[in-house]
Amino acid sequence: MAILKIEDLSKSFGGLKAVSHVNINVEKGELIGLIGPNGAGKTTIFNLLTGVYVPTSGKIELKNDKTGDSILINGLKPYITSSFGISRTFQNIRLFRDLSVLDNLRIAMHKRVKYNVFSAIFRTKAYRECEKIFYENAMAILDFVGLADKRDELADNLPYGEQRKLEIARAVATGASVIFLDEPAAGMNPSETEELRVLIEDLRKKYELTVILIEHDMKFVMEICERIYVLDFGTIIAEGTPEEIKNNDRVIKAYLGEEA
Ligand SMILES: Nc1ncnc2c1ncn2[C@@H]1O[C@H](COP(=O)(O)OP(=O)(O)OP(=O)(O)O)[C@@H](O)[C@H]1O
């Protein structure tokens, strides 16, 4: 079942075609890579998928895996795409730096709040029960990603690798079923990258996630992705398994130049 269907998607900035007639299909539970040289249009696609940009043309269809209903999400605001089960991380980490690790996750859960302002002010039973569930869910995710003992630390005080993990944990905490990871391994050393690979695979299984990631670390991409789309100058030039992509002439040329 295709959980995400991108059809003929284009985005122009003035005269620049950043994304041009892109088609992508993602099956439920897949782990997909989106790669390409600098400026190929990868982040623009993420921004279109998460409602940061409105497409110039084309369709983005998301299937609700529980009801089976499809909805068009092109142009919907990020807080709405999020309520449909989409979440993301960013190339440059964007945490609530002055909040604790635990509160970063609690905030991510707020759209699932089941109590009203009155309940929050008077700390009613509904409030306490809902907050207890949030706490337990947040701690379960923190435990899974290995940050449970850091729950009271300020996000800003975590080492870089753990901030990256926290950002992914926060994306999971929103309850999303489709997660976009923008260069999750950026700035990591090989052992941190390997740890991250295992973590993403484990999270995917445990929380039944569909994952689409952008990454420049080719070893990481080839090891973790089941299928890869390659972008160059805003268009998809290849799609296939890591093995197929590694041996694709157009991809080699896009990365290494015509002489390759
Ligand atoms: N808001 C914007 N306004 C104008 N041009 C933009 C905007 N966002 C992206 N672009 C341009 O669109 C093209 C694609 O950029 P994009 O950031 O999507 O590439 P990318 O593949 O993610 O690159 P990188 O790997 O370097 O992050 C680039 O030429 C970029 O300069």
Structure token digits, residue 165:
């993990």
* Dist. CA 145–CA 136, nearest whole Å: 14
Structural domains of the chain, ranges and CATH numbers in brackets: 1-85+175-259 (3.40.50.300), 99-174 (no CATH)
186-214: b (≥16 Cβ within 10 Å) or e: bebeeebbeebbebbeebbeeeebbbbbb
Q: How far apart are CA 84 and CA 80, in angstroms?
A: 7
Q: Regarding beta strands 2-13 and 178-182, do their DSSP bridges make them parallel or antiparallel, or are they unpaired?
A: unpaired
**Euclidean distance between CA atoms 30 and 224, whole angstroms:** 11
Query: Tens of pLDDT along the chain (260 residues)?
Result: 789 999 999 999 999 999 999 999 999 999 999 999 999 999 999 999 999 999 999 999 998 767 778 899 988 888 888 888 899 988 777 888 889 999 999 888 876 666 666 666 657 666 677 778 888 899 999 999 999 999 999 999 999 999 999 999 999 999 899 999 999 999 999 999 999 999 999 999 999 999 999 999 999 999 999 999 999 999 999 999 999 999 999 999 888 776 54
The pTM of this model reads 0.89
Whole-angstrom distance, CA of residue 54 vs CA of residue 72: 12
* Alpha carbon 20 to its chain's center: 22
Calculate how far, in angstroms, residue 18's C-alpha sits from the geometric centre of ligand 1.
Answer: 6
Task: Give, in order, the Cα–Cα distances in Å from 138 to each of 77, 78, 106, 206.
Answer: 25, 22, 7, 14
- 214 CA from centroid of ligand 1 (Å): 13
Instruction: Show the ligand 1 pocket: residues with CB < 6 angstroms.
Output: 13, 16, 18, 36, 38-44
Tokens of 32: 């997909």
Q: Whose CA is nearest to atom 28 of ligand 1?
A: 39
- Tell me which of 34, 38, 42 to substitute to probe ligand 1's pocket, judged by most ligand atoms within 8 Å of the beta carbon: 42
